[in-house]
Structure 1
Amino acid sequence: MRPITAHTTRSPTSTVYRNGSQVGPTSQSKRVEAPRRCHSSNPSSDPPPPGVSPLLTRRRALVDRTLLFLGLSAVACLRSLGSAASARMESTSTTVPCIVVYVTVPNKEAGKKLAGSIISEKLAACVNIVPGIESVYWWEGKVQTDAEELLIIKTRESLLDALTEHVKANHEYDVPEVIALPIKGGNLKYLEWLKNSTREN
């Protein structure tokens, strides 16, 4: 039986032999491993690539989410614009440009007479008679005040000239009020009825 021979050196790789066999490193050659960092179990919290700071990674993720949100918003906006354009096309295909015309008259009887003649000539689809208005105006060098009634006339824009001439020919005033305002929109069925209830020119 061979004696145990121990070979000890200052080298960190020195070993001990027993019966000619390698037993293992001495206590001086044992490696001490540094404790590993604790990793989160969340798979989405992977460490950033080497050379990239965590702050930069978070900023990039925020930018990506912002771009996605803006893209979805743009798609929704384009769809809304397309729907509005379709509605406008439907409006122009079933209606015509329409206006509201204001005409003042001195009393109820004059208003009914003028309104009836306008409807009979198909110069308008509807005339509202608003009673009890008071007009303050400048006439013949001084301020005048009179009780009047107001006609609100709904018609085609193309009939404005013919309507104006009709009012001038059948009104009691030398200079009757005829003021037209455009109708920008409204109930399409009503505007279609307005078109069908008036002549073309």
Structure 2
Amino acid sequence: MTPYIQVVTTLPDRDSAEQLAARLVKDRLAACVQISHCTSVYRWQGVIEQGEEQVCLIKSRRDLFPALYRTIKTLHPYEVPEILASPVIDGGSEYLDWLEQELRPAPE
């Protein structure tokens, strides 16, 4: 298994998704953030809701997750934002090398 993770969060609109993505990349907490549109169906406070959202798929590293999480929570407009991290089991060596170069240096 690699030290890399993919973190997913959803935001209510394109502007807030792009602002979050830019901040995470600028701060080197993410090497890349992919933004795509989705329709979400969920239960919130006992009511089934449906809404349009923007999904952010964030490429990062496990040791950066606490700082990444804090940044998302600070900038996120939702009361309970989705912030889920999944391990990257394996990947293309060239891509993983690029990913490492674009993130904050790993602790030694």
Alignment TM class, shorter chain as reference: over 0.9
The answer as to 2:12 corresponding to 1:106 is yes
Give the whole-Å Cα distance in 2 for the aligned partners of 1:154 and 1:108: 19
Give the whole-Å Cα distance in 2 for the aligned partners of 1:115 and 1:103: 11
Partner SS for 2:99:
helix
Give the whole-Å Cα distance in 2 for the aligned partners of 1:129 and 1:103: 10
Which amino acid in structure 2 is aligned with residue 185 of structure 1? D
For 2:78, the equivalent position in structure 1 comes to 173
The answer as to 2:94 corresponding to 1:192 is no
Q: How many residues align?
A: 106
Give the whole-Å Cα distance in 2 for the aligned partners of 1:197 and 1:179: 21
**What 5-or-longer segments of structure 2 have no aligned partner?**
none
Higher strand share: 2
Give the whole-Å Cα distance in 1 for the aligned partners of 2:62 and 2:95: 15
Which amino acid in structure 1 is aligned with residue 102 of structure 2? S
Within the candidate set 157, 172, 188, 2:62 is matched to 157
Q: How does 1:47-196 map to 2 (within 5 A)?
A: 97-131=3-37, 133-196=38-101
Shift of 1:101: 0.6
Partner SS for 2:96:
helix
Higher helix share: 1
Which amino acid in structure 2 is aligned with residue 138 of structure 1? R
TM-score, normalised via structure 1 length: 0.51
Q: Which runs of 4+ in 1 moved over 3 A?
A: none
**What 5-or-longer segments of structure 1 have no aligned partner?**
1-91
Give the whole-Å Cα distance in 1 for the aligned partners of 2:61 and 2:26: 15
Which amino acid in structure 1 is aligned with residue 98 of structure 2? W
Give the whole-Å Cα distance in 2 for the aligned partners of 1:178 and 1:152: 10
Give the whole-Å Cα distance in 2 for the aligned partners of 1:144 and 1:107: 16
More relative contact order, 1 or 2 (CA 8 Å, 6+ apart): 2
TM-score, normalised via structure 2 length: 0.93
Give the whole-Å Cα distance in 2 for the aligned partners of 1:122 and 1:177: 21
1:130-167 Cα shifts (integer Å, max 9, x gaps): 12x11011111111111101001000111111111100
Shift of 1:193: 1.0
RMSD (Å), alpha carbons: 1.4
